[in-house]
């Protein structure tokens, strides 16, 4: 998402949150929904643009059984924190989770089901890379309980895929999508990128046309950015200029709307009723438990919200998780931090959130937010329509400026 920050004259930054707001404490009457994120950190090869916690798998293979044992031990260490709560969604991400066997994914989900209640209607998503997806595995993943796939296609152009360091070609991407349909995955997401090296507007539109030909219920559209500590950051490719990227974004969004996929978040488009519930939970400031190397958690209690992070290195994670605690960091969110984090997430949603969701998902009174809302409204970045808190068109364009107004 392009968020210009240099050509819009913003007034000075607002004064910090009042002492009264800082002294407020979280008081929940009903805890937010709880999701589970499972991180599998291995992939076939590290892509040069990727800053996720992922590692190429060793020549000796994957420690699949040991890692699943560690994941279950990690989950069990959290049970006292979340006892009595059920899962609204599960997301198995990476890395490339589809490198694991069908039996391994079945074992993982069976063990989760034994410890935390979820039903057949619970959204269970798994990421898959078309170049590492053995098509005969898909029925087994479906039988194990995975009911939604997220396919990391990125492009249908062979030259672009090569420049991105992807291990698949366009033909493999098409076969993977067709195989997902045959295996009964009616709900699937296609990841697509734009602003690629040497990409022209017509090539970006052709990528989208190829994706839409498969009738996806959901499409995630990301602009390629050069993230720190990646191969692309060390040796940057020649990317399209900002004006061309802006044109791409405008034309791609228009084509998606014409195809019946509504933008409901900065990078997410879906047919009616097909939004990703797991990601929506993040943006609505719901709770999530993260298990696996480098996974993050946000968990609410009646009087506080905590954030936790797991050890990133997979081998160290394996050793520590089995001993009962793989956390590398645990901290309590201060009320002022909570205000900012809520708005940082909620304002990514195209239609915002109900105003009442702030207190429901933060445990704080609306008074902690109101003075900043007034400033944002005065600047034309935010509006309240039918008790719905949402960014204006200007707020969407200058999303960084809008969310910075809520910094502690």
Reported confidence tier of residue 1, pLDDT bands at 50, 70, 90:
very low
Among 54-68, 228-242, 256-270, 354-368, the minimum mean pLDDT is found in: 54-68
The domain that contains 3 carries what CATH number?
Answer: 1.10.10
Asked if residue 358 and residue 220 are part of one domain, the reply reads no
Q: In terms of domains, do 339 and 268 share one?
A: no
For residue 182, give both structure tokens.
């045959």
For the chain, first and last CA: distance in Å? 24
**41 lies in the same domain as 104:** yes
Q: Indicate whether 148 and 198 sit together in one domain.
A: yes
213 and 252 together in one domain: yes
| pLDDT tens-place string over residues 177-222 | 999 999 999 889 999 999 999 999 999 999 999 999 999 999 999 9
Tokens 């392009």 sit on residue: 2
Range of the domain at 386: 1-24+335-408
Same domain, 271 and 346: no
Residues 10, 69 within the same domain: no
Residue 301 has pLDDT above 60, yes or no: yes
**pTM: predicted TM-score of the whole model, two decimal places:** 0.94
Contact 363, 305 (CB under 8 A): yes
Residues 4 and 112 in one domain: no
Between CA 380 and CA 15 the distance in angstroms is: 18
pLDDT band at 13 (very low <50, low <70, confident <90, very high): low
Residues 264 and 367 both lie in one domain = no
**21 pLDDT tier (thresholds 50, 70, 90):** low
Please tell me the total count of domains within the chain: 2
């Amino acid at each position: 998402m392009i968020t210009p920050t240099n050509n819009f004259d913003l007034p000075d930054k607002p004064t910090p949150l009042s002492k009264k707001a800082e002294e407020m404490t979280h008081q929940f009457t009903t805890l937010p929904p709880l999701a589970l994120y499972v991180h599998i950190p291995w992939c076939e090869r590290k892509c040069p643009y990727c800053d996720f916690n992922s590692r190429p798998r060793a020549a000796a293979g994957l420690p699949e059984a040991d890692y699943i044992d560690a994941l279950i031990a990690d989950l069990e260490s959290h049970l006292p924190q979340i006892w009595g709560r059920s899962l609204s969604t599960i997301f198995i991400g990476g890395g490339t989770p589809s490198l694991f066997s069908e039996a391994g994914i079945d074992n993982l989900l069976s063990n989760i089901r034994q410890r935390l209640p979820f039903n057949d209607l619970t959204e269970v998503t798994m990421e898959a890379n078309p170049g590492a997806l053995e098509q005969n595995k898909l029925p087994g993943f479906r039988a194990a309980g995975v009911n939604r796939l997220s396919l990391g296609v990125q492009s249908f152009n062979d030259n672009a895929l090569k420049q991105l360091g992807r291990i698949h070609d366009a033909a493999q991407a098409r076969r993977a999508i067709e195989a997902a349909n045959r295996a009964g995955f009616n709900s699937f997401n296609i990841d697509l990128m734009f602003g690629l090296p040497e990409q022209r507007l017509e090539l970006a539109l052709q990528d989208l046309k190829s994706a839409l030909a498969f009738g996806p219920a959901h499409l995630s559209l990301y602009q390629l950015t050069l993230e720190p500590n990646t191969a692309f950051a060390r040796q940057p490719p020649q990317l399209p200029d900002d004006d061309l990227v802006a044109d791409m974004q405008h034309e791609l969004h228009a084509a998606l709307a014409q195809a019946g996929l509504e933008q409901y978040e900065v990078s997410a488009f879906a047919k009616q009723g097909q939004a990703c519930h797991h990601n929506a939970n993040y943006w609505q400031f719901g709770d999530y438990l993260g298990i696996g190397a480098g996974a993050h958690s946000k968990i609410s209690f009646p009087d506080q919200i905590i954030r936790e992070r797991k050890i990133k290195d997979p081998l160290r994670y394996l050793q520590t998780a089995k001993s009962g605690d793989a956390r590398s960091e645990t901290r309590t969110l201060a009320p002022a931090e909570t205000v900012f984090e809520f708005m940082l997430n909620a304002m990514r949603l195209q239609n915002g959130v109900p105003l009442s969701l702030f207190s429901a998902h933060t445990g704080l009174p609306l008074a902690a937010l109101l003075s900043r809302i007034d400033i944002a409204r005065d600047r034309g970045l935010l509006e309240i329509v039918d008790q719905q808190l949402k960014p204006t068109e200007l707020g969407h364009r200058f999303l960084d400026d809008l969310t910075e107004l809520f910094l502690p």
